[in-house]
Chain A
Amino acid sequence: MSGAQLARSRPRVTIGRVSPVEIVLWSLRILVLFVVFAGTIGAIVKDRYTAAQWFDFVMFGLTIGAIYAQIALGYTMVYGVLRLINFAHGDIVMCGAFAGYFVASPLDRSGFLTQHPVMGMTAILAVAIVTSTVIALLTERIAYRPFRRVSGSGPLIAAIGVSFFLEQTFRGMFGSSVKSYPEPSWQRSTFGVWGFNVPRIDVLVIGLAIIFMAGLYLIVQRTKMGTAMRAVAEDAEAAALMGIDVDKVVVFTFTLGGAMAGIAGVFYAFVYKQVYFFMGFTPGIKAFGAAVLGGIGSIPGAMVGGVFLGLVESVGPSLFLDGLGIPAPYQLRDLIAFTLLIMVLIFRPNGIFGERMAKQRA
């Protein structure tokens, strides 16, 4: 054993060399793990909820998680290609929700949505997708492209500006009141599986989200444009030298992200039944968290991150905090979600799927 090796192995046993930051980090990890385990055991021992209620918690979590995942895809794809955090993405979701509302509301009043749910939903989704995509492309062309060659925080600030612009434009055009989404009767209905009541809308949202995300994954992995997108994400300059039109790829990326945002906006509004100009902010932040959690730049990462965040938000307060006897646990659900997010990032700084990408690149 050489001297250098000895020197390297020594700090592991010497307490004096451990920095205070490390101690804090480790105690944080232990505390969170303790809360998770003790809370779970407590919740199981208390036996407060029936199996059907646990099933409901999981369904709620999967539903909101599927929506987060779709929004997170927009963040992660744009980041992968442009290294830009598109803070206006949440507001593009809001645009889709509004567009869907203006179709859904008259369709519901005329009774069309109740009689022809499939055609009605298709129309709502189509209008929302087109609106979101067009607005996403316009923001790219007008606000982001002039910043393409600028280093520093210019592009980020432009993105924040776009976010404010969209919010205030919608507020100016459609007022600041909260609008209620229509609720056709088929949406409320449930069906039984193994004795559990499953709401149709949840199944619809989760099912369609899986289909759309699988489609997106295939586009990115199997098509020529998708391959070009991955090439630009890997190294934009090299890709340009190989004859890939980077502008075209960026436009393609924003189209995909905008379409997913439109779908997510409609689903979000259909599950939570309200649209207003500021509605995109919170899901936007959460989905950004989900994208970071999954490993920003990674598409499967965004999907897994979104579902994980949704599940923790929904199940976490009842499972961890209720078990410990903490009152009003649902006030703390964002705290739980983001604490777990920080935990994952402490253990895996690149996010759940982040490392694979880094390895590929090296």
Chain B
Amino acid sequence: MKTPTRSRTPEGMTRSRTPEGMTRSRTLRRILLASTLATTVLAIGRPAPSSAAQTLGPVTDEIGVIRIPKNAPIQIGGMWVLSGPDTALGLDEKRGVELAFKTVGGKLLGHPLKLNAEDDQCNAEGGQTAATKLAANPQTVIVLGPACSSVATPAAPILWQAGIVDIGTACTAPALTAPNRGPQYAGFVRTVFSDSEQGKADATYAREGLKAATVVTVHDGSPYAQQLQQVMADNFTRLGGKVLSQEAVSPNDVDMHPLLTKIASEKPDLIYFPLFTAAAAQVLRQAKETPGLEKTVLLGGGSLASAAFIEAAGPSVVGFRIGYPDVSADAMGKDYPKFVAEYKKAYNEGPISGYHANAYDGAILAMKAIEKVAKTDSAGNLYVGRKALRDAVFEITFDGISGPIACDANGQCAQFKPSVLEFTSADPKTYDLGKNPKKIWPK
């Protein structure tokens, strides 16, 4: 008697719908599988552009030629984090590029410069989307950015697959320009230092500046944080210190109390956490409330040099230190103060993060390379060979506003000068690289 009654209840109705649902989920799974496979093949299958030599107008090139009709713009791709908690990081670099274009009046070889900036959201999925979109545009001459290594890792191979050179402007993960980086990264260079330098400098500061004997590192699984803390930990051990543990969180974790309690049980002299804005602010705020960490020094990374971080961290930011390249006027190129004045004039505020100079130099490098290889025909059309452009980027050297720019064979174009900065005020409006946070090391 019971069975027929039951089949009329809501559960019974749901059950009768299951087969359809199952088919749908199976189709979905198949689509997912197919797209994953496709992505994998795209990402690692072919290491370098495979198209045959092409001749267009006066230019012959191994991997392809871009033809820019008379008066049409030279399209330069950009990808930075332009939304979310790390917006300042990316926007600052976009502004650096815009100011670089301004120095030539927005025109190169008689063609207007057009920046197609994509938001990569500082994660791998966003990077894949942004790079695919830029690569799909046959007029993309070169790409500037990204800010985040988690973006560059998938994006650079996608771009180089399409024969497009990518100039990283703040992505500092060591693997991107390591000697074993693989042919799919052959089109990637960066006008920013490598974290193998940053990590070494941070370890040196911890041992010599802070006299720390023990350290716990925390990363968030991103290539940037993970590789940086590893380099730091290795160098710290080499300098005679002891690494108690290497912890990890996920980037959108909010409850750091349990992790910090665990760290407190190890009693480290220093916690080193080169995380991004949201997670780092949580660690910083909650560390001050954790019993046992009262005397522990906290040291963060370069992604935190922004007004947005001060806003997120609140009062606990005062006294907090970050390892950072030395950007004080005497360490930067001689034209840097002039650039800052221009920046303030254009955007009614001082630089909002730390990598505008690297982005500016990246844009200058791109323009110099285009000028070097581009040829104009009698009708006024412009031709750029892709392989020639890549080689030019690797050959050009100049004195940038962030320091001398000269790429080595692995695409590392900038040198590194270390420093440690300390925040002096919790008011986001007082953010001014050099004053808040101010340089405290080397003295």
Contacts and interface: CB of A to CB of B under 8 A. Distances in A.
Interface residues of B, number: 41
Contact of A331 (B88, B250, B282): B250
Contact of A178 (B10, B83, B259, B312): B312
B254 A272 contact: yes
A272 B9 contact: no
Nearest to A177: B308
A294 B313 CA distance: 35
A64 B255 contact: yes
Interface string B55-85: 0000000000000000000000000000111
A171 B83 contact: yes
Taking residues whose C-beta sits less than 8 angstroms from the other chain, chain A's interface range is 35 or more
B358 to A, nearest CB: 22
A329 B264 CA distance: 15
Contact of B249 (A64, A179, A272, A331): A331
B278 A274 contact: yes
Contact of A57 (B6, B261, B282): B261
B277 A60 contact: no
Interface in A68-86: 83
A181 B261 CA distance: 22
Contacts of B88: 177
- Specify which of A235, A273, A282, A330 lies most central, judged by the most chain B CB atoms within 10 Å of its CB: A330
Interface stretch (A11-19, A46-54, A203-211, A339-347): A46-54
A52 B289 CA distance: 14
Given A53-B261, A314-B255, A331-B248, A177 B312 contact: yes
B436 to A, nearest CB: 16
A330 B249 contact: yes
B311 interface: yes
B85 A60 contact: no
Contacts of A358: 11
B258 A57 contact: yes
B257 A56 contact: yes
B9 A361 contact: yes
A171 B121 CA distance: 14
A64 B259 CA distance: 14
Contact of B245 (A178, A271, A273, A328): A328
Contacts of A83: 10
A197 interface: yes
Contacts of A52: 291
A195 interface: no
B246 A327 contact: yes
Contacts of B221: 331
B248 A330 contact: yes
B197 interface: no
A235 B8 CA distance: 11
A197 B314 contact: no
Given A53-B265, A60-B258, A274-B282, A334 B6 contact: no
Nearest to B313: A180
Interface in B243-282: 245-250, 252-255, 257-259, 261-262, 264-265, 277-278, 281-282
A37 interface: no
Contacts of A330: 247-249, 253, 258-259, 262
Given A178-B312, A331-B249, A334-B250, A199 B289 contact: yes
Nearest to B21: A153
A178 B249 contact: no
A327 B246 CA distance: 7
B281 A178 contact: yes
Interface in B373-421: none
Contacts of A282: 252, 254
B99 to A, nearest CB: 23
Contact of A176 (B85, B254, B264): B85
Given A178-B85, A322-B262, A273 B6 contact: no
A91 interface: no
Given A57-B258, A282-B252, A330-B262, A176 B246 contact: no
Nearest to B307: A177
B106 interface: no
A235 B252 CA distance: 40
Interface string A318-362: 100010000111110110000000000000000000000010011
The 8 A-B residue pairs with the shortest CB-CB distance, nearest first, are A331-B248, A180-B314, A178-B312, A328-B248, A272-B254, A330-B259, A60-B257, A178-B85
16 contacts: A57-B258, A61-B258, A176-B83, A177-B311, A177-B312, A181-B314, A197-B291, A199-B289, A274-B254, A274-B282, A317-B259, A318-B262, A330-B249, A330-B253, A358-B11, A362-B2
Interface of B: 2, 6, 9-11, 83-85, 87-88, 221, 245-250, 252-255, 257-259, 261-262, 264-265, 277-278, 281-282, 285, 289, 291, 308, 311-315
